[in-house]
Structure 1
Amino acid sequence: MSRVWIVTLLRTTRESYWFLPLVLVVLAHGLAFTMVWLDRVYPEFGVDVLPRALRDTQAAGARALLSLMASSIIGVTGVMFSLTMVAVSFASGNFGPRLVSNFMRDRGNQWSLGVLIATFAYCLQVLRTVKGPVAEVFVPHLALLVALILTLISILVMIYFIHHVPETINVGNITAGLSRRLEAAVRAEVDAEPFDRPKEQPRRPPIGQPTLDWSGYIATVDLERLDLLSRRNGWRFLLLSQPGDFVPAGTPVMEIYPDDNNRPPDPKTLNSLRACFGIGDGRTEEQNPLFLTDQLVEIAVRALSPGVNDPFTAIDCLNRMYAALHVSLTYEGGLDDRLLGPMDRKHLTFDVLMEATFGKSHFYVAQDPLTLAHMAKLLSQLRPYARDEREEHVIDAMAERLREAAD
């Protein structure tokens, strides 16, 4: 079991819509068993502690109350989340299908579903223990009190959820969230340990080219493990595929060159190398901050389409792109200007970030007067922060491309 597999599993679980609700349902069952056990073992506890109004409930009343709470909660939950998915589908059609994954990843949505379903499960579990009046009478007063408390909490959660869903699918909040994660990724790239310039390209042919057994997008590459295997075996690795790239099955993802060791890798070592690559069905922002820029570009381009015609959303996206470019120049000295690091791992640079943001969107921006003027303004504001003539040239070249697209 490789570290990449564990990281991929944890990320998939974190982004899933089922894990947290499932955990809360399991905890709800455990809580129900515990409270019923307390009611059975210490029946006098509920009589001594609870006020008379809460311990005079008869078996028929307790059964009716628990049934009412369970049916109401599950009914409200189904309606709420059905309407929510309709709203999310509508928003994703206007601003991109990746909105659905943002909704699924949102902790507020996961907690809301989990609390509601857990309360429903708790009520059902307690309901089956109520006995009477024909047979032995047993009314779990403590468990019933907890059910009432959970139901009140569920009402508050429902109010929060109704408020939270429009906030979640609001395009301004979506772009703000993407911007925060993009800026954090740029800062993390700047804070990463400095690397030496890569060695010159190998002159001898490779002694090995590991391939993957299935197609997909590279989500994660365990660079530390690759570096350890490289030093342990006396080889030099060159990556042919980077995080975010699509790799067909059987395509080499890296090349192995002899350094101190001319012996080709054995099958066990090849499997260890393959385990350093995590494959997924779609692109992720893990080790691939340009996935975030693509989402901002997609929202901006869709906003400028004739069917939507919303230049102010596009302007907001341009502001978010500008913020990331500004961080790449000003935070702790800015991004390193070297594109390739060890093993030819591509690093984020100002040039790459400029092309991934303004470069991909400038043609569409140039077709609208508002967004055209705004991008030109942002480029002029960015130019004083350039650290050398080369970066000034990159900004000037982008401004020229924008003018040519507008002509």
Structure 2
Amino acid sequence: MMSRWRWILAQVFKKLWFRATLFAIAAIITALLSIVFKSMIPESLSVKVGAEAVDNILNILASSMLAVTTFSLSIMVSAYGSATTNVTPRATRLVVEDVTTQNVLATFIGSFLFSLVGIIALNMGAYGERGRVILFFVTLIVIALILLTLLRWIQHLTYLGRVGETTKKVEDAALETFIERAKNPCLGGFPWPESDTQPKGTTALFPRDIGYVEYIDVDRLQALLSDSSLHVYLVAQPGSFVHPSRPLIYVTDSVDAALSSAIQSAVRVSDVRSFNQDPRFCLCVLAEIACRALSPAVNDPGTAIDVIGRGVRVLSEYARHASTGSEVKYPAVHVAPLRDCDLMEDFFSPIARDGAAMREIQLRVLKSLSMLSCGWPERFGSAAAGMVEEMKERIEITPYIASDKQRLRAACHALFPEAGSPRDVQS
């Protein structure tokens, strides 16, 4: 599992200001290095490069990069608004963390500061005759970098903020989170299937904050308990909403205030849920995208069908990686494993409810449930059968025409016979 500091650094790296700051610092240092290494340039070469040539190029860069940066920021804001309106507000965070967009903006800001510092130093006479040569060649390199960035930016703008691209980002985040959880089913801790009841002889620790559990540093918990016989039972998992009135952790013995605070500090609480360590949130966001597409205002069943396919792919990858087994890395930390019925409920139930009036959505959901049940019956079979029973009730009360209702009934019987296991079907 990722340590606390690695997790904090990973969150910082995803911030828009971080890359822009790095590029800006690199640009300023690059502009000033010409002053340091100017003695290495021969006098004969310095005569061929005039101060006016470098100054004019830097002036053009400074004015154009400022305009391009402002224009790019407006495009980014529009893309964020489009993702919020057409996809789901929960997916906007992934659009903001887009690496290409951050690199483009950082390059433009860095180029602007490079040219600005170069102009100031040039007018102060800090470069001299030979320093201008280094500045000139470095400026040519910066221009080439800007051209490559512009071409990449133009290509990236064709799909920035669009529904398909944003949905793919959500799917990629879900795949990463689910595969990591499959390799560490209980965050690397010891399985605790009886998580609904407090273990005997344990003491409850209550959280100080109110919000969602964003990250649990299991490494830190194990380190805190390594010199004692204490064991901890994590009541709240990433994505759980915690409150001071509900237990956060159970400890096998009473602990002092210092150790209690240290144990609770390993659980980070935030105002919103995060894609890291929270597989159920990933599925909920995918389901939100499908449900928004199924709303009467949008009426886009094609997007919902696309999302259903992505959800099946995510759950299939999770089951495939989970079947390989895993080791317990933190035996003193007890964590409840994910329940497959909850995963199925998080994703399929909202889509089946909001798409109840659309025959094609119901058929796609039935086929997807059949695929998962046939592929991993011990994992998804029971949950899928229960969801099919709910779908049968919806089919009976939904005002379909007679032919649609008959077709849906036949699909339910063909894919999930009342007696026997679900059957496979070609999509």
TM-score by length of 2: 0.80
- Tell me, what secondary structure is at the counterpart of 2:160? helix
Q: Which residue of 1 aligns with 2:417?
A: none
Q: By how many angstroms is 1:137 displaced?
A: 7.0
User: How many angstroms apart in 2 are the aligned matches of 1:255 and 1:240?
Assistant: 7
> What SS does the aligned partner of 1:238 have?
strand
| Contact 2:209 2:244 (8 Å CA) reproduced | yes
Q: Is the 8 A contact 1:70 1:119 kept in 2?
A: yes
CA distance in 2, matches of 1:202, 1:247: 16
* Residue correspondences, number: 385
Aligned partner (choices 98, 102, 105) of residue 94 of structure 2? 102
Task: Tell me: CA distance 1:251–1:387, structure 2 relative to 1, closer, same or farther (3 Å).
Answer: closer
| Aligned with 1:73 (options 53, 65, 77) | 65
Q: Is the 8 A contact 1:4 1:277 kept in 2?
A: no
Answering whether residue 315 of structure 2 is matched by residue 325 of structure 1, we say: yes
2:157 to 156, 162, 165: 165
SS of corresponding position for 1:167 = coil
1:383 to 365, 373, 385: 373
Q: Do 2:239 and 2:274's aligned partners in 1 also have CA atoms closer than 8 Å?
A: yes
Contact 2:178–2:318 under 8 Å retained in 1: yes
Contact 2:91 2:170 in 1 (8 A): no
- The answer to whether the aligner puts 1:13 opposite 2:12 as a matched pair is yes
Deviation at 1:387, TM superposition (A): 3.2
The residue correspondences of 1:56-205 to structure 2 (distance < 5 A) are: 56-57=49-50, 59-131=51-123, 140-192=132-184, 198=192, 204=200
After the TM superposition, which of the residue ranges 397-406 and 198-207 deviates more from structure 2?
A: 198-207
- Structure 1 CA distance for aligned equivalents of residues 216 and 189 of structure 2: 17
Contact 2:183 2:321 (8 Å CA) reproduced = no
What letter is aligned with 1:398? M
Post-superposition offset of 1:106: 1.2
| Map of 1:221 onto structure 2 | 216
* Alignment-derived partner of residue 292 in structure 1: 282
Rounded to whole Å, the distance in 2 between the matches of 1:131 and 1:195 is 63
Displacement of 1:225 after TM fit? 3.0
SS in 1 for 2:37: helix
Counterpart of 1:220, as a letter, is: Y
Q: How has the CA–CA distance of structure 1 residues 278 and 118 changed in structure 2, closer, same or farther, with 3 Å as cutoff?
A: same
Alpha-carbon distance in 1 for matches of 2:332, 2:358: 42
Given that 1:217 and 1:244 are in contact with CA atoms closer than 8 Å, whether structure 2 keeps it comes out as yes
CA shift for structure 1 position 28: 1.0
User: Residues 356 and 269 of structure 1: is their aligned pair in 2 closer, same or farther, counting only changes over 3 Å?
Assistant: same
Q: Is the 8 A contact 1:303 1:309 kept in 2?
A: yes
> Do the aligned residues in 2 keep the contact of 1:131 with 1:137 (CA within 8 Å)?
no
Amino acid at match of 1:393: S
1:213-362 to 2 correspondence within 5 Å?
Answer: 213-230=208-225, 232-248=227-243, 252-258=247-253, 264-331=254-321, 333=323, 345-362=335-352
Q: What do the CA deviations read for 1:315-337 (whole angstroms, capped 9, x no partner)?
A: 0100011112323444463789x
SS, match of residue 140 in structure 1 = helix
Contact 2:211 2:243 (8 Å CA) reproduced: yes
Are 2:205 and 2:248, in contact at CA under 8 Å, matched by a contact in 1? yes
Q: Of residues 393, 396, 401 in structure 1, which corresponds to 2:385? A: 396
Alpha-carbon offset, residue 6 of structure 1: 2.3
Task: Give me the CA root mean square deviation.
Answer: 3.0
CA distance in 1, matches of 2:298, 2:134: 56
Contact 2:213 2:240 in 1 (8 A): yes
Give 3-state SS (helix, strand or coil) of 1:283's partner.
coil
The amino acid across from 1:237 in the alignment is V
Structure 1: distance between partners of 2:208 and 2:356: 44
Structure 2 CA distance for aligned equivalents of residues 128 and 393 of structure 1: 71
Is 1:31 paired with 2:21?
A: no
Distance 2:28 2:75 in 1: 28
Any unmatched runs of 5+ in structure 2? 399-427
Structure 1 alignment gaps of length 5 or more: 259-263
Contact (CA 8 Å) 1:217, 1:247: kept in 2 or not?
Answer: yes
Alignment check: 8 A CA contact 1:328 1:335 kept: no
1:296–1:203: structure 2 CA closer, same or farther, 3 Å change rule? closer
The residue number in structure 2 matching 1:261 is none
CA distance in 2, matches of 1:348, 1:205: 25
Between the aligned partners of 2:61 and 2:120, the Cα distance in structure 1 is 14
Cα deviation, residue 131, structure 1: 4.0
67-76 or 209-218: bigger deviation: 209-218
Task: Show the counterpart of 2:40.
Answer: 42
2:232 match: secondary structure: strand
Conserved 8 A contact 2:290-2:307: yes
2:418 aligns to what? none
Q: Is the 8 A contact 1:329 1:335 kept in 2?
A: no
**Matched residue type, 2:372:** L
**AA matched with 1:214:** D
1:117 Cα deviation after fit: 0.8
1:292 CA displacement: 0.9
- Deviation of the 1:382 alpha carbon: 2.9
